[in-house]
Structure 1
Amino acid sequence: MTTLYEMLGVCEDATDEQIKRGYRRAAMKAHPDRNVGCEASANARFQEINEAYAILSDPAQRRVYDAVYAEEMLRHARRREEEERLQAEREAAYTRFVALAMRFAEQGHNRDVVFGVLLGSDCELQLAGQIAGSVIELHASRQPDASRDAQRDDPMPQRDEGATQTASPQDAQASDRMPQSAPEGDARRGDERAHANFFSVLWQSMFGLHP
């Protein structure tokens, strides 16, 4: 919202002389004769500048404007604080619901149970369904069975542990050049990062904000 002071290019505690100089500069810049080709918009701006000067150059009208403006700014600040408070509450509730769903999923409960628990904790219907489905899907993907299934699908032949083989020097050199598997801790950190990214995207899709 543009204030009358901003229209004249002066601060809110400007003196009468500063308001007059600001009016002259703004009026000259917005005058239709100086804006060939866009006279209509320039004329509208010129009229607004004249009205702003008429109010701010009159001490009584300026006091009334300042009082109304101050009240409006206070109302705006209160509204912004309320919106920020509600947003913080939504983020805290989302975090609590996800933690609750993860706890029940890790205990072996299915989606319906997790969904019911969320509803019983005052989670909204749509949000409860999204969190329950996502948590169960993520939990299932992290189970050991999923790794074994992937190994069964791997077309690479497995070495027979009972077979006795003699490695050639070429095999030993090739083995030295083979990349080593990542430590278990790296894999776990990768899962945690994937978990965080997964729920960050889910949060943005539901609320349009970063959790």
Structure 2
Amino acid sequence: MATLYETLGVHEAASDDEIKRAYRKAAMRAHPDRNKGREAAAHDAFQEIKEAYAILSDPAQRKVYDAVFAQEMSKLRGREEQEVRARAERAERAAQAERERYEKYVALALRYSERGHNRDVVFGVLLGRGCDEALAARIADGVAALSASRSQAAAEGGEAGESADEHTEAATHAGLFSTLWHGMFGIRP
């Protein structure tokens, strides 16, 4: 719904002369005699223009209108801000739930991988637990890559003569970084 100022085509701080000029211009444009074939719509528009001018040309009525309008706009802004906050809170809760769900799937995949199960078994377990197919594939691929990097690091560490603890810790950090990187961005080496 248009404000009275919008109906006349002026800004809220318009002077009395600007309101009078805008009224005359709008009234000429919307007058039923100038709109052949659209008399009914023109008559309605013309009446709105007349009513807007009647209120805005009277200083007392304009003051009341401005006060009521400002109060209603303040209430509207308050409701809009409340809705924005509520939407943001819902989005944050949904994002948090999604992160927790993702973490649960990754922990499950790691547990099965550590037991010696291959990528396809991990993928199947994730699907069986309700994980989305694309996400299950990404997680299973990441866990398989982590397992492969740990195995490779263990084999290389054994050849280099590192202690088992030093080698396992280094492989775990390198593999975990690789898995997280590939899992987040879907990039394969």
Give the TM-score normalised by the residue count of structure 1: 0.56
Structure 1 distance, partners of 2:22, 2:129, is 61
Structure ranking higher on relative contact order (CA contacts 8 Å, 6+ apart): 2
**Higher helix proportion, which one?**
2
Partner of 2:80: 80
One-letter amino acid of the counterpart of residue 79, structure 1: R
Q: Percent identity?
A: 49
**1:156-171 residue pairs with structure 2 within 5 A?**
none
Match of 1:31 in 2: 31
In structure 2, the residue matched to 1:67 is 67
- Please list every run of at least 4 consecutive aligned residues from structure 1 whose deviation after the TM superposition is greater than 6 angstroms: none
1:50 equivalent in structure 2 = 50
CA contact (8 A) 1:106 1:139 kept: no
Gaps of at least 5 residues in structure 1 are: 110-131, 149-187, 195-211
Deviation string for 1:120-164 (max 9, x for gaps)?
Answer: xxxxxxxxxxxx97645344323558xx9xxxxxxxxxxxxxxxx
The residue that corresponds to 1:104 in the other structure is 104
Give the whole-Å Cα distance in 2 for the aligned partners of 1:6 and 1:190.
55
The code of the aligned residue for 1:107 comes to: A
> For 2:18 and 2:39, how far apart are their aligned partners in 1?
27
Q: Report if aligned partners of 2:106, 2:139 keep a CA contact under 8 Å in 1.
A: no
Paired positions, count: 136
Residue by residue over 1:155-211, the C-alpha shift from the partner in whole angstroms, topping out at 9 and shown as x without a partner, is xxxxxxxxxxxxxxxxxxxxxxxxxxxxxxxxx8786456xxxxxxxxxxxxxxxxx
Gaps of 5+ in 2: 110-127, 145-179
The DSSP-based 3-state class of the residue aligned with 2:53 is helix
Residue 112 of structure 2 is matched in structure 1 by none
Flag the 1:134–1:27 CA change in 2: closer, same or farther, 3 A: farther
Alignment partner of 1:142 out of 134, 138, 142 = 138
Query: Offset at 1:29?
Result: 0.4
Shift of 1:35: 1.1
SS class of match (1:108): helix
TM-score, normalised to structure 2, is 0.62
